[in-house]
Amino acid sequence: MALEDYGASFVMCPSCSRRTTQANWRANWQVCPTCGAHQALSAPERLLSVLDAGSFVELGEHIDGRDPLGFPGYPQKLEDLRKKTGLEEAVITGVGAIDGVRVVIGVMDSRFMMASMGMAVGERLAVAVEYAKNGGLPLILFCASGGARMQEGIISLMQMAKTSAAIADFSAAGGLYISVLTHPTTGGVMASFASQGDITLAEPGALLGFAGPRVIEQTIGQRLPEGFQRSEFQQEHGFVDQIVPRGSMRETLAKLLRLHGYGVMRG
């Protein structure tokens, strides 16, 4: 062990059980240096990992979550999560640059109520998509979600229609949308904007599907095949175009943007 690692705080990889310093995990964007398992990355770290330094300007930060149904304990839960994570809601949206190409970007953060889609999440995304459409900018969304936000009931489900319609509108105007699926992307988010990408990328080993494997097994009374709904399975079945490890994400996005003419003639 390197001397500077003595006294450092260690994190054990849940996949291979090897211990690595906290600093090492951070430097590697939460990918295990030993086995390559991808652990959750916060939205701010994700933005740092793909955007040009200092290029990010947030959009829609004033759109915060409410308690439309008077759900018991919900306002307190939101308040506690805001204090704990420093986030106002489960998604951060804004404008930034990737290798000099301007993009509209949205990143969901699973620390905030499993990145469930309440009205603030839906509205922030819709505003970002509209901004991309009006500005002729490409759109990149890093998806992660447990699904709908049950504390907002039907208003949560309405966000599926709202985000889908916004993206359909953006696509009709000729915009490029790259959807990046990270662990886990499920439920109403998978059933709406996450699966509407012109190009769908995924991180290795992510769980991607509508209902989770346990629910499906209980419903059909059968064992599911090995690796069911993981990125690799979804790529094999045509749902994912390419699996991109976190360390190559920025470079891959830059290449895709330039291939589509952004930053060359149009950017």
The footprint of Zn ion (CB under 5 A) covers 13, 15-16, 32, 34-35, 37
Cβ 135 to Zn ion shortest distance, Å: 41
Question: Is the CB of 20 or the CB of 93 nearer to Zn ion?
Answer: 20
Contact 156, 150 (CB under 8 A): yes
Cβ 33 to Zn ion shortest distance, Å: 8
Distance CA 262, CA 101 (A): 7
Distance CA 31, CA 24 (A): 9
For residue 110, what are its two tokens?
């699973």
Cβ 9 to Zn ion shortest distance, Å: 17
Question: Is the CB of 5 or the CB of 236 nearer to Zn ion?
Answer: 5
Pairing mode, if any, of strands 101-108 and 242-243? Answer: unpaired
Report the first-to-last Cα separation within the chain, whole angstroms.
Answer: 47
Distance CA 261, CA 264 (A): 5
Contact 243, 202 (CB under 8 A): yes
Distance CA 115, CA 91 (A): 7
HEC string of 9-20?
CEEECCCCCCEE
**Residues linked to residue 242 through DSSP beta bridges, in sequence order:** 201
Query: Residue 130 burial by CB count (10 A; 0-12/13-18/19+): exposed, middle or buried?
Result: middle
Question: Is the CB of 33 or the CB of 227 nearer to Zn ion?
Answer: 33
Question: Is the CB of 16 or the CB of 173 nearer to Zn ion?
Answer: 16
Question: Is the CB of 13 or the CB of 97 nearer to Zn ion?
Answer: 13
Question: Is the CB of 13 or the CB of 249 nearer to Zn ion?
Answer: 13
